[in-house]
Chains A and B, each alone.
Chain A
Amino acid sequence: MTEMTDVTEHDKTVEVHDYDVVVIGAGGAGLRAAIEARAQGKRTAIISKSLFGKAHTVMAEGGCAAAMGNANPNDNWRVHFGDTMRGGKFLNNWRMAELHAKEAPQRVWEMETYGALFDRTKDGKISQRNFGGHTYPRLAHVGDRTGLELIRTLQQKIVSLQQEDFKATGDYEANIRVFHETTITDLFKADGAIAGCFGYFRSTGTFVRFNAPAIVLATGGVGKSYSVTSNSWEYTGDGHALALRAGATLINMEFLQFHPTGMVWPPSVKGILVTESVRGDGGVLRNSDGKRFMFDYIADVFKDLYATTEEEADRWYTDADNNRRPPELLPRDEVARAINSEVKAGRGTPHGGVYLDVSTRLKPEEILKRLPSMHHQFKELADVDITKEPMEVGPTCHYVMGGVEVDPDTGMSRVPGLFAAGECSGGMHGSNRLGGNSLSDLLVFGRRCGAGASEYVDGLAGRRPAVVETDAAAAVDRALLPFTTAAEGGENPFVVHLELQKTMHELVGIIRKADEMEMALKKLEDIATRTRTVAVQGDRKFNPNWHLALDLRNMLLVSMCVAKAALERQESRGGHTRDDFPVMDADWRHVLLVLSALGEDNVEMVRKEQIPMRPDLLDIFEMDELKKYFTGEELGGHRADQGERA
């Protein structure tokens, strides 16, 4: 079963399909994009790296942020916009943050028409919960399994569209088809525009090509480049790397979100997510001395917004209008750094985390009702009963703020016909994403990309770029390379992967230093050589080491982007903390680091200025707050400088 196969024997047959829009990725963003493209009358293919319905979106626990005002009528899109910009330290693409805040409620309500069943308020509306960085209770949720509800609802909506097509044509897959367990390894362009893509079916190892003028990337994140991550095997930065190799650009890649609360024990589950809802519902963080340490870590920019005593913090849960929120609910970057500092100072738990305790805060039956899957997770995996004892938690690589640079309104990258939505797109979250803003992001921009792709296809008026056959042949050879190398005695891809993860974890982790990142970039060069020559055992049928060998080149390219941008940005902001430049610097706020590919495994970077924020959006904030983030000359357009314009 494991004998080497001579590459000359390989079947190079390629199955070919024609579609209007191909969506790569079957998580929330991909499915919402596909629903929209199909609604616009486009024949749509959905490429799912795993089985349909297993995407990483299921891991989202807390909820979906949308200013519906069901729990607090003071909430509206302006407040949500403000929280999002504040959370991202004002580095966000403000147009994306604006669209997101305005459209999220519609997108959530739409999910109910697809059959979603959110938890309810007393008057029968969608219930909304508190979360870090959100001024009001804002997250639509279903216990602590909101992501599962979203993915299942979107999956079932696709099925319902297929049923409609079946009634009309006798074919379920007439207009929308899901290609299960299919991985895309290359995009094709012709005359500078998207022409199609190429990949393989996992179950058979045979090849497939899609001729399509529009492609939506919705491949999620890059966490698998790190040793401790909440991300699954699929999160190998495929969309990021495909975009780069097709000539698109990435921004904000230096900003990675380390979720403050991942499991730390037992070792085999290290990194698995512990939802922020635990804190939103009253859970507190304590160090080994039993101290609620977050009060010591309220940064200047947040001083007026968070409680300074335990008494005030505790009152907030019942009277949010007259008290400030507990500092456990600071944005994720702040909490992750605080935990990191406590552990470094020797006040950590036996397994190197801190205590997250909800058992002394809520009654057992309340915990079981609000946090059932956390209870289940700790009981089954760590023998810990969270209704009776505290959890041990620590930071875990969770989300990449960086991604494909896109037009905010349509989601199109700088490559005509190439779109990106959800985690693999960049800009929306700036330097740090607020919890709950991911599920809403993928609904809002998934839909916008589906619409953008459809409009683009209409604009072509039938003149579709044709895939160049030599490009198609090259894609086949690249995919088979790990088998060719096998004959020459290359390395085990698992070994190279572990080395890559270790490098990124240790040298480009939560706290960064110039010399360490320089060392990381050197190591990545070496890993690049080894990645080109990894060799695989066995044949092409559902062969995990072949899959990893191909994913590895994506992880490598993305890691280079992260390391290069992180070394360049000489300040600390959001998901980027420099030991050697510990302070946020307003001169860096308006600078974007834009990355593009140089061949298969190198990248180049240029600086680009952010577009200045529209004055009416600037006016949402008080001048005093803006001054903490912006340089003086950037604030000329604010109402305070114009005598409070009418």
Chain B
Amino acid sequence: MSYWAHFRVWRGDSDKGELVDYPAEVNEGEVVLDIIHRLQQTEAQDLAVRWNCKAGKCGSCSMEINGRPRLACMTRMNTFAEDEVVTVTPLRTFPVIRDLVTDVSFNYTKAREIPSFAPPEGVEPGEYRMQQVDVERSQEFRKCIECYLCQNTCHVVRDHEENKEAFAGPRYLMRIAELDMHPLDSADRQQAAQEEHGLGYCNITKCCTEVCPEHIKITDNALIPLKERVVDRKYDPVVWLGNKLFRRGEAANKNR
């Protein structure tokens, strides 16, 4: 059942690095992360890799496998031919710390820039009432395991360091959509999505949706609806006037 695969793993740090070839034993049912662990236990003890749950639930072992952004724990070896070279490299969009581990602090910085859930005034803990059908939209986005594969793939930042300042990335634009669709959130978020978090940079090529290991329809269900809400607001003269006259009109507008 077992065979020897040809692995090619990127080794190095922020200064320099290279692809190193390793022959690696593969057994039935194994995933790429198993092979990396076997290398650690044998000839590459100091090979750096992030991982935690090994079940596709924590989003730690993100890397690029034969050029595709993947979770190493969910990439089965039987998806490769036995004589195929398996090349494993770190996420390209973030600076390398060592080997397969990158500095993902960009994502934590962006997370902190998105205003948090704003609880409804006057509703005590235990008194929250929401219908299942209403929470389901946001629940889809809360399936996100923060693997950052979408952030890594999005062409707005993948090869454009200069856009990182202005663009929150799909994961955090989706977070805005999630809060905007939360039945009880009381903040207005649409204008800021466009003006402060770079929603306009997204030109809906759906690369983020394609790599999402949770199969969240990031573009169709989060980003496009958010764009539509922003546009509706901008061009609807009644809404525009309402917003000018009554500040509270914004909250009423949000759950259409």
Contacts and interface: CB of A to CB of B under 8 A. Distances in A.
Q: Do A and B bind each other?
A: yes
B205 interface: no
Contacts of B60: 50-51, 54
Contacts of B131: 120, 124
A90 interface: no
Among the interface residues B13, B54, B59, B97, which one has the most CB atoms of the partner chain A within 10 A? B54
B103 A377 contact: no
A537 B46 contact: yes
Contacts of A143: 139
Interface in A243-272: 265-269, 272
B112 interface: yes
Contact of B53 (A59, A115, A118): A59
Contacts of B74: 380-381
A156 B56 CA distance: 21
A494 B41 contact: yes
Given A2-B46, A114-B117, A541-B98, A272 B51 contact: no
Nearest to A57: B58
Nearest to A105: B126
B55 A117 contact: no
Interface size class of chain A, counting residues whose CB lies under 8 Å from the partner chain: 35 or more
B112 A56 contact: no
B66 interface: no
A105 B124 CA distance: 13
A267 B57 contact: no
Contacts of B248: none
A51 B30 CA distance: 25
A569 interface: no
Contacts of A272: 54-55
B101 A542 contact: yes
B256 interface: no
A115 B117 CA distance: 6
Contacts of A113: 119, 125, 128
Interface string B42-72: 0011111111111111111000000000000
Given A145-B143, A159-B111, A172-B112, A380 B56 contact: yes
Contact of A494 (B45, B51, B116, B119): B45
A172 B58 CA distance: 25
Interface string A105-131: 110011011110111100111010000
Interface in B101-157: 101, 103-104, 108, 111-112, 115-117, 119, 125-126, 128-132, 135, 138-139, 142-146
Contacts, number: 178
B222 to A, nearest CB: 15
A536 interface: yes
Interface in A146-195: 148-149, 152, 156-157, 159-160, 162-163, 172, 180
A348 B57 CA distance: 29
Interface of B: 11-13, 27-31, 34, 40-41, 44-60, 74, 76, 97-99, 101, 103-104, 108, 111-112, 115-117, 119, 125-126, 128-132, 135, 138-139, 142-146, 179, 182, 185
Interface of A: 1-2, 50-54, 56, 58-59, 68, 105-106, 109-110, 112-115, 117-120, 123-125, 127, 142-143, 145, 148-149, 152, 156-157, 159-160, 162-163, 172, 180, 203, 232-234, 265-269, 272-273, 373, 376-377, 380-382, 492, 494-495, 498, 536-539, 541-546
20 contacts: A51-B60, A109-B126, A117-B135, A117-B138, A124-B131, A142-B139, A142-B142, A152-B142, A180-B108, A203-B103, A232-B54, A232-B58, A266-B28, A273-B55, A537-B45, A538-B46, A541-B97, A542-B97, A542-B98, A544-B48
